[in-house]
Chains A and B, each alone.
Chain A
Amino acid sequence: MNYDMEDTQNAAPGSLPPNQATKLAPRKGPDAHSTTKRLQTELMQLMTSSAPGISAFPSADGNLLSWTATIEGPDDTPYADLTFKLSFAFPSNYPYAPPTVLFKTPIYHPNVDFSGRICLDILKDKWTAAYNIQTVLLSLQSLLGEPNNASPLNGEAAELWDKDMEDFKKKVLSRHRDVDDE
């Protein structure tokens, strides 16, 4: 009698190869499905509890990973009564990585360069999955009123903000142009 055989006999029949075992483990990693789901949920949140002055929506081409957002300039800032359009590009592992956010509307702001790139910590290294589109938009809105002049992308604007607010306002207005995507 060969007892070496017994071990295999003893092993539960029908047991799976180990690679299938991993399938049983709860799915925790990010995948395309959970990203779209998250974005859909965020959209629903935006729709049901909209904050004043901000709105966002997926692009017309039906790609849920690319959105367009609108911020209205807060009152009592040089940007009052102006609206700014932004583009959001979500990575496939969102929300584990931040979206890429750009100003589409030309804006004169210490923390935004002339091609619309934004210097904001929560969009870079301070990003956590707890942030969402709404919080990003609210942060950007407050950034309009309170620029971070310590690390400007637009040095001239930062200087002007501190020295000559009137001139700054003029620059803002002259730079602002309504973009129409049509």
Chain B
Amino acid sequence: MTNPRSSTRQKRVFDSVFGAREFSQPTPHATPDTGFTVPGQRFGGPLVDISHVFPAPPLANIRDDPRSLSQEESSHVKDKVRWDRSWHIVTHALLLPEFPQNWNSIVPLQPQKELLDGGFDHSLDNVLYPQDRLPFARDTEDIFEWHTQQVRSHFLHQVLPIILHLRENHAPDLLVRSSIKILETAHHQYLHGLAIMKEHMDISAPGTSMPILAKFRRDLHAIISKSVMEPLSAALRRLFERHIYTVLGLPLTKGNENSAIVPEGLGSEEARRQIIGLVESLRNIGLAGEKFQVSFAEIMNSSMTEYVYRGCKGLWDSEDGTSYNNATGSSGKEGTVLPRTAHHSSPSRCVTDLCEWIENRYAKLAVQVLGVLDIKTQVSWGDKEKYKEMGIGRLAELRINELFDIVKNWPHSGGALDDLRTAITTPQRRLHLTEAFANTLNEKLLHPGASTLQILQTYISMIWSFHALDHSKVLLDRVAYPLQLYLCSREDTVRIIITGLLADPEDSQGKETSVEKLVELAHLLNSGSEKIEQRANDEDLDWHDMEWVPDPVDAGPGYKRSKNADIIGTLIGALGAQDVFIKEFQNIIGENLLKYDGGFEREIKVLELLKVRFGESPLQACEVMLKDIQDSGRVNGLVRKKQKLNVTPDEEAAILSHRAEKQHRQTRGSGGPNLEEAAEKPSINAKILSRLFWPQLQDDNFLVPSEIADLQKRYEEGFASLKASRKLTWLHALGQATVELELEDRTIVEEVHTWQATVIWAFQSDNEKAPQHTRPEILGQQTSPTRSIALHVCRSRDAEPRRPRASNAQAAASSSAANDNDGDDESNQLKKDSIESEKMQLYWQFIQSMLKNSSSQMPLQQIAMTLKMLIMDGFPYSNEELREFLARKVADGELELVGGKYKLNKK
């Protein structure tokens, strides 16, 4: 409508289809009221006395002389004349006045009723009921159509331009108000004319006016809304948005994250009144049509999202919510506030807030506004339940998007989980939740950038959170599956879990070691291991369980109910293979047992836990290991006493320790100085291990100093006398020694590897020349003396060691307890070599079995291929390396090479 050209075109198109309707314009005012002209008289000319000019009819043959017309014809003419006169009078009276330029002033309505006389009434009768009153008039027109048409063109030409003009210069608020004012004025004017007619009709033909009036209104509203709504809609929308947000307590400024929900007050009441008023006036002027309703709905829709976003985002804590719930709970109010579907034993704060908000503000406003509008669908107060469900749905959506952070925030996000729990009531939502969470998980966690520890920590939070969310574990199972798969691909997972289990919870609280260790597990283990016991009872249906609920609808076929979160169980179970787990556990407690002294309560506890889970037999070895350590403490005491190796316990000290091994038993030794012989003498303590039950232990060959060897011998003798059938084999390399280096300016006490201690010992032999002799003495290992010396030298760079007095040596048989990197490199290197030979042994098994079973003779190529295919960890060697390996076997006489094919040598 704004574009004159397009509107003309529109009109043309419209006319071409529906046909243009022509309406006569009101007769010009200037036309004199001359009546019907006498024949011969010029129409519209000055009144002339025709009797003077034409005393007699000049032409007797004038056929159309009215007087010569038949009676019938003349009544036609008469009616037509009367019609025309009446039409003129009525249209003239009802002609709309110019729209006042200063549209603010109250203009007197034209025509003023008092000025209308009986002639008008008479004419109006004629115009309204031409069939009755002027049956012979032709070409009568409908006065209402004429009025509508008049209103339309008046509106388009006079009122609309004012509004369009306003739009350019005014703020939305003012624009809307002014427009409404203008439209109201216009409306008033337009209806005035109609009102006159209506009044008349009510007198003459009661009851017929209503449909006509309604039709006019409809037409008028159509015109207005079609032309005005479009230019106004933006402003109207903004205005409404502002008011609605005020009523609903939403902050008006967008993007301000911190602005909270404003509680109800005078401002919102005022805004509410304004909205109702606005809607009423809009309805009156016909702007409350479909377009307005749509934008109202849109605003309400977005305001709900906005509320959820503002009011609930990031509010995960249930702390302050509990008191709130208690308050509402005690007053019994929550029953009315929450929708039926959201009923829950402990409704969360956000949900309760949301429902209250919807009930008190949102639904109230919606019902009020929609009540003002006359629309077909009735929105009743009862629909608030639907609003609430929608609101909860929005909240669920928000929480689902936040879920990853919520999980990470555990245990400070209980409130958010409550929200979610209330909201995820349908399988679709549950599915969506797991779907969305799995995606976030993939994006944020399951990539090489996240450390295994981090993943495990998140997993633990996930178990907690999802357990709070859904006791049935169905949701967790769905999201945890990819996580478990991923964890299996990480090599250090098992190790981290076990070290976590074995971690010292007290220690961690002080020193923040949680960064490196999964101490959560240790806490769990200490706090709630008894929970695991009740698992066994979960299998049967407990008839006394009043909290029983059926399995969730989306539970899988393998679903098993379990009530507690059971973090440790889930973690261990997640990694599948129990043997991997047990092996790793064995290695780690092996290390721990050799490295430290003490009661090993944690190890025992973890062992008990694992026994519950895996059964006794797979963990037998571990039990033996623990028992070994406990026994060896006793045996060690006895032996030392017997062999006079003992010193008073508080002065117990050792230089070197060694590990002994015999057919069944291994010893770990340590030395302590004999007090009488001053601190010069080392002392030795041993741990005796049952070889078969311990994981592969590494040993190096080097010569221990003769003093230590003597001690070992005496110890051995003591042991032999104690347990006659057993023999000790010392594992030198696994020990630990505490050495004290007396330098010129200071004394260093250092816990070192036995082989390092041996090198240091070499310096003890009185003078500085000793180092030259160390090498041949120590033998065995080429690199370690050099390395230990390097260590030594770097520790005592400034001062030449004068008399390194090895005094305080405490031993531990551990393979990885070095505190310097050199030592670590060393032991890793050793480990690797032996692993490879161990692996080669495995490959040899494969080859043997292959040649025995699948084909008695095979070329190299095929052997290599089969190995690559069948060995799960992959066969890392090239064909050449394999050829070399096989050649060795041929040389050993185990294989034959015949015609390029290998076969087993039949003995």
Contact = CB atoms under 8 A, between A and B. Distances in A.
B870 A40 contact: yes
Interface stretch (B24-32, B180-188, B357-365, B428-436): B428-436
Contact of A58 (B386, B431, B477, B870): B870
Given A1-B379, A25-B478, A28-B558, A56 B849 contact: yes
A55 B849 contact: yes
A127 B901 CA distance: 39
Contacts of A51: none
A180 to B, nearest CB: 6
Contact of B852 (A10, A16, A26, A55): A55
A68 B855 CA distance: 9
A50 B850 contact: no
B127 interface: no
A4 B852 CA distance: 73
A127 B97 CA distance: 104
A60 interface: yes
A54 B853 CA distance: 10
Nearest to B301: A9
A2 B429 CA distance: 22
B383 A3 contact: yes
A9 B854 CA distance: 63
Interface in A104-126: none
A70 interface: yes
A6 interface: yes
Interface in B434-461: 434-436, 438
A16 B433 CA distance: 11
A59 interface: yes
Given A10-B393, A60-B858, A67 B853 contact: yes
Interface in A1-50: 1-3, 6, 9-16, 21, 24-26, 28, 40-41, 43-44, 46-48, 50
A41 to B, nearest CB: 7
Interface in B462-486: 477-478, 481
**Most chain A CB neighbours (cut-off 10 Å) among B431, B856, B858:** B431
A182 interface: yes
A94 B427 CA distance: 34
A73 to B, nearest CB: 15
Interface in A56-104: 56-60, 62, 64, 67-70, 85
A120 to B, nearest CB: 20
A58 B435 contact: no
Contacts of B866: 58, 60, 62
A181 B856 contact: yes
A58 B872 contact: no
Nearest to B435: A16
A79 B82 CA distance: 137
A26 B426 contact: no
A15 B481 CA distance: 19
Given A16-B431, A25-B478, A43-B870, A50 B845 contact: yes
A163 B849 CA distance: 38
A1 B377 contact: yes
A59 B855 CA distance: 8
Report the interface size class on chain B: 35 or more
Contacts of B433: 12
A6 B390 contact: yes
B857 interface: yes
Contacts of A59: 854
Contacts of B436: 14
Given A12-B429, A21-B554, A28-B557, A58 B845 contact: no
Contacts of A48: 842, 845
Contacts of A10: 389-390, 393
B813 interface: no
Contacts of A85: 853
A182 to B, nearest CB: 6
B494 interface: no
Given A14-B435, A15-B435, A24-B478, A9 B845 contact: no
Given A46-B849, A62-B866, A15 B428 contact: yes
A15 B432 contact: yes
B830 interface: no
Nearest to A61: B854
Contact of B853 (A1, A16, A25, A70): A70
Contacts of B370: 1
A11 B870 CA distance: 49
A181 to B, nearest CB: 6
Which bucket holds chain A's interface residue count?
Answer: 35 or more
Contacts of A69: 853
Interface string B793-837: 000000000000000000000000000000000000000000000
A128 to B, nearest CB: 18
Contacts of A24: 431, 434-435, 438, 478, 481
Most buried by A among B400, B432, B870: B870
Interface in B546-563: 554, 556-558
B390 A180 contact: no
Contacts of A40: 870, 872
Interface in B378-427: 379, 383, 386, 389-390, 393, 396-397, 400, 426-427
B208 interface: no
A129 B68 CA distance: 123
B432 A26 contact: no
B390 A9 contact: yes
B871 to A, nearest CB: 8
B849 A182 contact: no
A9 B428 CA distance: 12
B854 A47 contact: no
A31 to B, nearest CB: 15
B856 A182 contact: yes
Contact of A62 (B556, B557, B853, B869): B869
B489 to A, nearest CB: 14
A137 to B, nearest CB: 11
A25 B554 CA distance: 9
A103 B855 CA distance: 16
Contacts of B848: 55
Contact of A26 (B379, B383, B427, B477): B477
Given A40-B870, A48-B845, A55 B383 contact: no
B672 to A, nearest CB: 42
Contact of B854 (A1, A28, A68): A68
Nearest to B850: A57
Contacts of A181: 855-856
A26 B433 CA distance: 16
Contact of A12 (B397, B846, B862, B869): B397
Given A26-B481, A41-B872, A47-B849, A1 B297 contact: yes
8 contacts: A10-B389, A11-B426, A12-B393, A24-B438, A43-B870, A50-B849, A60-B854, A67-B853
Given A10-B389, A11-B426, A21-B427, 19 more contacts: A10-B393, A14-B432, A25-B477, A40-B870, A44-B871, A47-B846, A47-B849, A48-B845, A55-B848, A55-B853, A58-B854, A58-B866, A58-B870, A60-B854, A60-B855, A60-B858, A62-B866, A67-B853, A70-B853
Q: Which 5 A-B pairs have the closest CB atoms?
A: A12-B432, A57-B853, A68-B853, A60-B855, A25-B556
